[in-house]
Chains A and B, each alone.
Chain A
Amino acid sequence: MSSYVLMKILESSPERYDRGIRMLNGGKVDAVYEAIADIAARPGGRVLDIGCGTGNVSIACAQRGAEVTGVDIDAGMLEVARSKPPPPIGSVEFVQAAAAELEDHFAPESFDSVVSCLALSEMSPDERSYALRAAHRLLRPDGRLVIADEVLPAGRFRRLAHRLARFPSVTITWLLTQTTTRAVPDPVELVMAAGYQHVEMAERFGRTLMMVSARRPPGPGGSNA
């Protein structure tokens, strides 16, 4: 069963994810987790973390007293998430599901905030918009969406320069931890297309990480069809 040994060694490794993600972003990523939690979490608030991975954002939200549900498709990632010590306040629960299965697990309007960090970029464009629309229905009216992801600089030339500049660190990180990240073409556009309001780029972290915040329109049954 362990056919094709090489492939197994090279495949992505949840245990090494936390180390890899820090190497790639020079430690910046912790600031992103905190920034997301600062706007998405408050004591008693219900937070959904889509593509929670090893649970970093979920735990940051719980540390602010929120009741968090982290969802990820990868069992290995969740195993690492569950092995972390539970925060002293708030609560975290992890569920294995695809972003396209959110509505099988949760009722409409059952969250105050939905967050997603570095996960939309791992999905296909179809999955991305499907997930954002589902999240819209799961948010209470006026509820908040916060996403953070990698973006590529505008312009062909700058993009190329950016890729070249990052090539050494990306290669080393992948060799050591088999962790890498991808980029979302245009997060603001993406979120607006899914029917959210007050879409704004909340913060940038260096040149490539950006955080977008938005709200589900107030009023019951706000539709995003």
Chain B
Amino acid sequence: MRDLLLRLFPHRHPTGLVEIGAPGRESPVIVTGNYTLTVRRMKRALRGRDVHLLVADSGGINVWCAAGGGHFTHHDVVSVIRTSGISDLVDHRRVMLPQLGATGIERRYVADKTGWDPHWGPAHLEDLPHVLDRAGRVPVADRKVRFGLRDRAEMITVWALPMALIGGGIGLAFGGPAQAAAVALTMVAITCAVFALVGRVPLSGPGRFVTLGVVASVAVGGAWVAMEAVTTTFSSRDAVLLGVAATATAGLLAVDLPGTTPWYPSAMAKDAFTVELLSESCTGAADCVTVCPRGVLRMNGVIRKVEIVDPDSCIQCGACIVQCPENALRFRRADGRVVEPETIRTTRLNLLGSRTIEVSH
């Protein structure tokens, strides 16, 4: 419950060094943001280990949103490395950065300014023990974002309550308590179904209308049967009410459902970008491969260059472009215009998921 409340609101954990267990001079150093929930989960995931945890200022927001929105950058990481005094506490200079921060944290900047050797950790902090057991090497599977049961459940709680309230209100206004309950339940059912389906059936692009239509019809059908069972007379007004509620729920969810998941680019972003690789510039540094959360890129060991293997999974986060030392990656807009890497590095996502905020460099 406490975790759920923390999940709903940004909440700042004090920044600086947090010791987990009894870390010594060889213990790993891991950077994370100061979203209180993240720090709590980190401690839980690393229970029984000895780790120097550096909590950097991400404005009390989770790493992914903070980096995408310009609140968590290499400046915050440099700051915590320098001011925490960690250099005096360990004999090595390896520091693990959160992979989902790669849209905002330029790894090479951190290396230049601090003399430390930063490398990317796994996408999900639950995989940290596993990665630490492999001396910090992240298996390919651990780089991909998941939208797990827990995340789904959380998104359902975030969306279902307002939906139920709206539905209940409409039901009360146009019918009675029975109608209110039926409409609220229909809306909740649709919400649950939709978040259960994310990543399994098309929920972005034109396909999402078909999916949402099917889900809404099933929910209305269910509610209909339920109402027939409790109320003896089922009026045509009730049917209209249910239909309107279902359409409204599907509509509300469709507005930016993709954007609330780590699976699709936000539907509100105006431009559709395609990631493009200039093979002649690629030197096989493969930084991009270690930050892509969707497994779009792969290192081809034979030609010693990176390849785009799964372009359809790209969520246009830009992490690969931000990290490439050779500027070999970039976006192309639907209208054919190129978005240069420097533009990606110096603009951040705004509320609607478009890149508008200019960042100086």
Contact = CB atoms under 8 A, between A and B. Distances in A.
Interface of A: 1-12, 73-76, 78-79, 94-101, 104, 123-127, 130
Nearest to A9: B351
A101 B79 CA distance: 7
Given A3-B259, A11-B69, A75-B70, A96 B359 contact: yes
17 contacts: A1-B68, A1-B316, A2-B260, A3-B259, A5-B256, A5-B260, A6-B8, A7-B9, A8-B351, A11-B10, A73-B79, A75-B70, A79-B357, A101-B113, A104-B113, A124-B15, A127-B79
B133 to A, nearest CB: 29
Interface of B: 8-10, 14-16, 57, 59, 61-62, 64-65, 68-71, 73, 75-76, 78-79, 82-85, 113, 158, 256, 259-262, 265-266, 268-269, 315-317, 348-349, 351-353, 357-361
Contacts, number: 115
A3 B64 contact: yes
B15 A127 contact: yes
Contacts of B265: 1
Chain B, interface SS category: loop
B59 to A, nearest CB: 6
Contacts of A8: 65, 69, 351
Given A75-B70, A124-B16, A7 B78 contact: no
Nearest to B259: A2
Contact of B262 (A3, A10, A98, A99): A3
B24 to A, nearest CB: 21
Contacts of B57: 73, 124
Contact of B76 (A73, A79, A95): A73
A126 B76 CA distance: 13
Contact of A100 (B59, B73, B83, B360): B83
